[in-house]
A and B are shown apart, each in its own frame.
Chain A
Amino acid sequence: MVDVSQHELVPDHTLLGDGDLEEVLEEYNIEKTDLPKIKRTDPALPDDATIGDVVRIERDSRTTDTAVVYRLVVE
């Protein structure tokens, strides 16, 4: 089976710890449910991601080198 998370075009998805999550929510002054969503079945997610977790996605960007996005795992 191909592990898509290892593909060069798939950015790193890492689970966010409680402390880090707290910080992120603080920074944007939002609640967890205001984050963009990602499906639990998404093949790019780490295996231990469960519904309600937040992942940090670090993408390569032409203009800013890296762009960081957070997503809430749903369903």
Chain B
Amino acid sequence: MSQHAPKEIHSLSFGLMDPEEYREMSATKVITADTYDDDGFPIDMGLMDPRLGVIDPGLECKTCGKHSGSCNGHFGHIELAAPVIHVGFNKLIRRLLRGTCRNCSRLTPVDGSKYADLSEASEAADEKLREFRGNLDEARSLRQDLSDELKSAMRTCRRSSSDTNEDKCPYCGEVQYDIKHEKPTTYYEVQRVLASDYPERIAQAMEPDEEDGERVTPPELADETGIDPGRVQEILSGSFRPRESDREAIEDALDVDLTEEDMNKLMPSDIRDWFEDIPDDDLESIGVSADKSRPEWMILTVLPVPPVTARPSITLDNGQRSEDDLTHKLVDIIRINQRFMENREAGAPQLIIEDLWELLQYHVTTFMDNEISGTPPARHRSGRPLKTLSQRLKGKEGRFRGSLSGKRVNFSARTVISPDPTLSLNEVGVPDRVASEMTQTMNVNERNLDEARRYVANGPETHPGANYVRRPDGRRLKVTEKNCEELAEKVEAGWEVSRHLIDGDIIIFNRQPSLHRMSIMAHEVVVMPYKTFRLNTTVCPPYNADFDGDEMNMHALQNEEARAEARVLMRVQEQMLSPRFGENILGAIQDHVTATYLLTNTNPEFNETQSLDLLRTTRIDELPDPDRVDDDGTEYWTGRKLFSELLPDGLDLEFTSSAGDTVLIEDGQLLQGTIDEDAVGAFGGEVVDTIAKQFSKTRARIFINEVSSLAIRTIMHFGFSISIDDESIPPEAQEQVDEAIDGAYDRVQELIETYERGELESLPGRTVDETLEMKIMQALGKARDSAGDIAEDHFADDNPAVVMAESGARGSMLNLTQMAGCVGQQAVRGERINRGYEDRTLSHFEPNDLSAEAHGFVEHSYREGLDPKEFFFHAMGGREGLVDTAVRTSKSGYLQRRLINALSELETQYDGTVRDTSDTVVQFEFGEDGTSPVEVSSSQEKAAVDVEEITNRVLDEEFADENEKAEFLGERAEPTNLSEHADDWWMAQSDD
């Protein structure tokens, strides 16, 4: 392919193409619609002419002499029997027809009839054209879209009066008519002419009407219009057609319209003639470059025939050839073209010619775009619409989005994912059958020669094997089960071996939808049996993955640069801090959080065996000093002490946990507080976040791995399960709940009665009805909350649902309320349920029943179970939620695409500005402050960059003790005049 050195593209020029240029670049004229002869050879000057390029291997291109594969193909051309309109330009053609004179083809920026004489009119028109040029120059200097200027100029040129034949050309004085465009490619000139039924219309208007009941007599009419009375009689009898001026006089006198539209079709040839006369200077003033784009070139006289390489035919299994859709379309065009010519030569009637012309137009139109509204798409024999030029380019599967912006790649794999808590979060478990398919290139040298030979000797099927070798001469050999032993001995330094993926290789891992940069991260390979990709559960949040059947993609990197970049920039631990909110996105989730809560909340004690068991999967293999020693000498360690073993020395922290207590960590020891979601959770767990920022990401990765290991052993130690009994409340509590709900029902009933008496006072800005609704909702909401509170009071602190809600692991107190107390009011569109039957929600209720149960209040809990009516209302509220999420995902997906396309080429430059590819400044300083969101404080109260704190940290690091530091800062001056007798005093001043 690349026989030529790459060239730098300096500029691109877009414009219309001169038909002469088509003819010049054409390899051959195409005249027959046939493709291959009986022997299977392409027919000369047919659609598969060998001069248009070759697709069959072995044949030689008649134009360039190259063989299939290296010949890109060459365009041919069809001479159209009559000009046809190019659909792609139908709007521009309409604009030009409406804005230029039908006689002299000049632009008509002013109405000639508004001026005393032609010279004055043309003067004004010239002035307007100069104004257009001025606008263009300004738009050019401001680099704005010039097509907007063209549009606005052509709007000015468009005739002002469309229903009277008044508008005149300012240059030649010709009367201009309105142009009607019938999509896609038909244009009419509309003239107002005397209606054929004018006598009837006049007679009708002369009859007395309702307001002034006087009948107009012919003499009166003659009087009023100044037309000879005899002529009036002739006009009324229809034997004389009134002249234009007389017609207008009668129209004025009788207030009647005597005209009708006369549509005169403009044939493409007429339009072409019209456009040919538009002067270059006029085009220049609307921003059209005449030497690149003459408007008559929008009317095709020659049709380029795409090379055969762009529309290859396929040979089916039964030996039959199947042609490309484009070829089918070209066949149609040539057939009609020929029939057109034959008919014209035979002197066929105009009607037939016009029909054929329209048919030719149809085929050329659908050749370019087969999805035009108002035109039936051209279909294949099977009824499938043909895929023509525009369909090849457009849409998701089109050339741009499908083949250029995104394409299929080698060295990639996709399979179901499943969890493996024994892996590090940097790792990924790769099935051996995937590892044996994806390869990495080994450059063999003296030092890895033995290793390389071992891979080759294993062959392609045994796991750490090799699939291909490449000799120094460039020959690539496939390693097979048969030749592997033999080949292994031949491998020498200088060869390349494509070996299987092995543990420690770096690969890229991805889950769609790739909404943020953490959706694609680099992992280290751990080859494993079975068929799924395995990942540590702590990387679920960034990928938004779960294991209900999710699949993920893997890409093996193919060069050293890519591997280095992936390892340094893309590895999971490097992506720990999210650029969205500047805090960690990796951390403990679900059971991990529950476990750390169990471990630290009540601070339980463990004996030596238990303690070692909890820590056995971490790097800790020696226990610290025990917290308590029993009378019989048994040693005990508390949960907080064990957790502290994972913290780095020198970590100081104080914050409030989601359980509500204050967590205090000093020098890497957890002194008090509960470790839960707010401490170690993904999405901003304080401890993880602080370790990542103050220590390192490597330390944070070790911490997260160890926390999850400790957590898993902890939760196995305690055991954690939940069942329906965990949501049941004692009978006395149930009574209280029922009481609360009954109380609410009473209040609602009271409200309704007040309302019905007309005594309900409306809230400011609300109607009485709205006020009632609000107050009912309020009362019922309160009832649900108090039911929740009652239920909550009866749950022990070790209730699993409470533990999960309190630690932030999963669920909320509201969920618990709904399970144990009362599900509460169901809502659609934020209101009580009001839809269904006329004046009621279900036929089970009286019309206009305003009570709670008739409008979707569910008084039962999920544990008790819902009654049928409640169930129905609950389903209504649930459905709304489902529809909302469905709509939201599709909307946000589209928004995401638009945003990514708009922002993808922005880049921060070395001077700190953010610019697009044309060097336009988007931000003068990245993010207004030039800071990275992951490097600055994410808290709203504190300064983004706390200079004070940073200097303190640096100084603490720099100096051995406080004195030295104070001395450096000039806060303390070293005395220079002390006698040795003062040494005792001097020593007492310092710390040691």
Contact = CB atoms under 8 A, between A and B. Distances in A.
Nearest to B943: A63
Interface residues of A, number: 21
The list of the 10 closest CB pairs from A to B, nearest first, reads A63-B929, A63-B944, A33-B143, A67-B928, A64-B929, A34-B920, A61-B928, A74-B142, A34-B919, A34-B921
Contact of A72 (B142, B915, B919): B142
Contacts of B923: 69
Nearest to B930: A64
Contacts of A35: 920-921
Given A30-B921, A63-B928, A51 B944 contact: no
A28 B913 CA distance: 8
Given A61-B928, A67-B928, 18 more contacts: A33-B141, A33-B920, A34-B915, A35-B920, A36-B922, A59-B928, A62-B944, A63-B928, A63-B929, A63-B944, A63-B945, A64-B925, A64-B928, A64-B929, A67-B925, A68-B924, A69-B923, A72-B142
Contacts of A46: none
B905 to A, nearest CB: 15
Interface in B429-468: none
Most buried by B among A29, A52, A63, A69: A63
Contacts of A30: 919, 921
Contact of B936 (A52, A63, A70): A63
A28 B924 contact: yes
Interface in A17-45: 28-30, 33-36
Interface string B131-172: 000000010011110000000000000000000000000000
B435 to A, nearest CB: 47
Nearest to B909: A28
B517 to A, nearest CB: 22
Interface of A: 28-30, 33-36, 51-52, 59, 61-64, 67-70, 72, 74-75
A75 to B, nearest CB: 8
B924 A70 contact: yes
Most buried by A among B142, B922, B929: B142
A74 B201 CA distance: 55
A69 B924 contact: yes
9 contacts: A33-B920, A34-B920, A35-B920, A35-B921, A36-B921, A52-B142, A61-B929, A63-B936, A63-B943
Contacts of B943: 63
A41 to B, nearest CB: 15
B931 interface: yes
A68 B945 CA distance: 19
B991 interface: no
A68 B921 CA distance: 13
Given A28-B924, A63-B944, A69-B924, A33 B911 contact: no
Contacts of B920: 33-36
B928 A74 contact: no
Contacts of B928: 59, 61, 63-64, 67
Most buried by B among A28, A59, A74: A28
A1 to B, nearest CB: 27
A59 B913 CA distance: 17
Contacts of A72: 142
Contacts of A69: 923-924
Contacts of B138: 51-52
A56 to B, nearest CB: 11
Most buried by B among A29, A30, A64, A70: A64
B924 A74 contact: no
B931 A63 contact: yes
Interface in B922-951: 922-925, 928-929, 931, 936, 943-945
B140 to A, nearest CB: 10
Contacts of B931: 63
Contacts of B915: 34
A38 B923 CA distance: 14
A20 to B, nearest CB: 14
Contact of B144 (A34, A62, A74): A74
A71 B936 CA distance: 28
B913 to A, nearest CB: 6
A48 B593 CA distance: 62
Nearest to B919: A34
Contacts of B945: 63
A74 B336 CA distance: 52
Nearest to A72: B142
Most buried by A among B143, B915, B931: B143
A72 B943 CA distance: 32
Nearest to A33: B143
A58 B394 CA distance: 44
B911 A28 contact: yes
Contacts of B936: 63
A29 B919 CA distance: 10
Contacts of A28: 911, 913, 921, 924
Contacts of A75: 144
Contact of A67 (B141, B911, B929, B944): B929
Contacts of B924: 28, 67-70
B935 to A, nearest CB: 12
Contacts of B913: 28
Contacts of A68: 924
Contacts of A64: 925, 928-929
A36 to B, nearest CB: 6
A63 B915 CA distance: 21
B134 to A, nearest CB: 12
A69 B920 CA distance: 13
A52 B138 CA distance: 9
A35 B919 CA distance: 9
A7 to B, nearest CB: 20
B149 to A, nearest CB: 11
Nearest to B931: A63
B827 to A, nearest CB: 35
A72 to B, nearest CB: 7
Interface in B859-912: 911
B142 A33 contact: yes
A74 B936 CA distance: 36
A72 B142 CA distance: 9
A68 B913 CA distance: 12
Given A30-B919, A63-B936, A51 B925 contact: no
B877 to A, nearest CB: 38
A35 B916 CA distance: 11
A51 B137 CA distance: 13
Interface string B108-149: 000000000000000000000000000000100111100000
A51 B142 contact: yes
A19 to B, nearest CB: 19
A35 B920 CA distance: 6
B161 to A, nearest CB: 29
B921 to A, nearest CB: 6
A61 B944 CA distance: 11
A67 B914 CA distance: 14
Nearest to B144: A74
Nearest to A52: B142
A57 to B, nearest CB: 10
Contacts of B144: 74-75
A65 to B, nearest CB: 10
A29 B912 CA distance: 13
Interface string B528-557: 000000000000000000000000000000
Nearest to A36: B921
Contacts of A62: 944
Contacts of B925: 64, 67
A33 B943 CA distance: 35
A75 B931 CA distance: 34
Contacts of A70: 924
A62 to B, nearest CB: 7
A54 B849 CA distance: 66
A72 B139 CA distance: 13
Most buried by B among A33, A69, A70: A33
Contacts of A51: 138, 142
